[in-house]
Amino acid sequence: MRDPRASEWVKRHPSVRPPRLRLLCLPHAGGSPAFFHEWGRRFGDDVEVLVARYPGRHERINDPLVTSMDQLADELTLALGQFTDLPLAVFGHSMGASLGYEVALRLLRQRGVRLAALMVSGRTPPHLADDTLPDADDVDAVVAEVRRLGGTDAALLDDPDLRELVLPALLADFKAVRGYTPRASVALPFPVIAYVGDVDPDVDAACMGEWARASSVDFALTVLPGDHFYLVGRRAELIRDIRTRLAALGLAEKPGAGGGETAPRGAASLPR
């Protein structure tokens, strides 16, 4: 029997052929599945892309907001039960990186499920404090922070009607991130791959390199041109890098084998 929480928490982009791998994408604070819409068929015909649906936005606009990272991780982990019959990789950007790490821990400890890979982007690792976050109860400060970081969400805040719709979920997410206090990193028994923009105002390559503590197997860091939302302008390069790494694990077609992306330019890859 399928768990109804699965469709509530996870948006599916079905693969053309029966999948041999699933890739779960976790949006940033204030983000939604729409942010990863273009990723749906970019990883080959046999990779099913999943995107987390956080409460309080889009199809879940009327669902109760969650202001705790641990609660988000608990509920999302429960919803992933039917998706762990195949190898599962996770990509999380910003808040999604922290959430991905916590989900990876829960899948391993509660179900014995090892991810194929954990990919983290633009986020301080769990053992380090993030002192860049505003008070989540200060609406003006949160809005200013979103505008400072840029990305597609900043434009939504300029429209009074849209702002009223998106602000509650945005504030809830900021509370979850701000309440996510430093904790000892657990060395996970699968690869951790980190990504960052070279001019991200809050997280640099050295900080992202600290994610190496989160893997006992392998770690790699890729720096791409751009700011905190480098993955908007550098989507093709990022997707190609992810496809290449999944292919190296024997879990996806190599780029170019099924509607691949253009070759990446300007990326610096730093393995451990």
The dihedral over CA atoms of 38, 40, 43, 47, expressed in degrees to the nearest 10, equals 170
Instruction: Report DSSP state, residue 82.
Output: G
CA angle 168, 171, 232 (to 5 degrees): 100
> Quick one: tokens of 112?
């014995």
Residues forming a β-bridge with 195:
121, 222
Is 94 catalytic? The answer is yes
By the 8 A CB rule, do 81 and 110 touch?
no
Whether residue 28 lies in the annotated active site: no
- Counting every residue written for the chain, the total comes to 272
Q: Which of 15, 94, 121, 215 is catalytic?
A: 94
Please name the amino acid found at residue 180. Answer: Y
Kindly name the residue from 13, 28, 93, 228 that is annotated as catalytic: 228
CA–CA gap between residue 223 and residue 205 (Å, rounded): 7
Residues whose CB is less than 8 angstroms from the CB of residue 250 and which lie 6 or more positions away in sequence, other chains included: none
Tokens describing residue 272? 């451990």
**Distance (Å, whole) CA 80 – CA 85:** 10
CA–CA distance, 150 with 133 (Å, rounded to integer):
15
DSSP 3-state assignment of 269? strand
| 174 vs 132: CA distance, rounded Å | 11
Give Cβ neighbours of residue 177 (< 8 Å, ≥ 6 apart): 29, 69, 95, 98, 130, 133, 136
Which residues form the catalytic set?
A: 94, 228
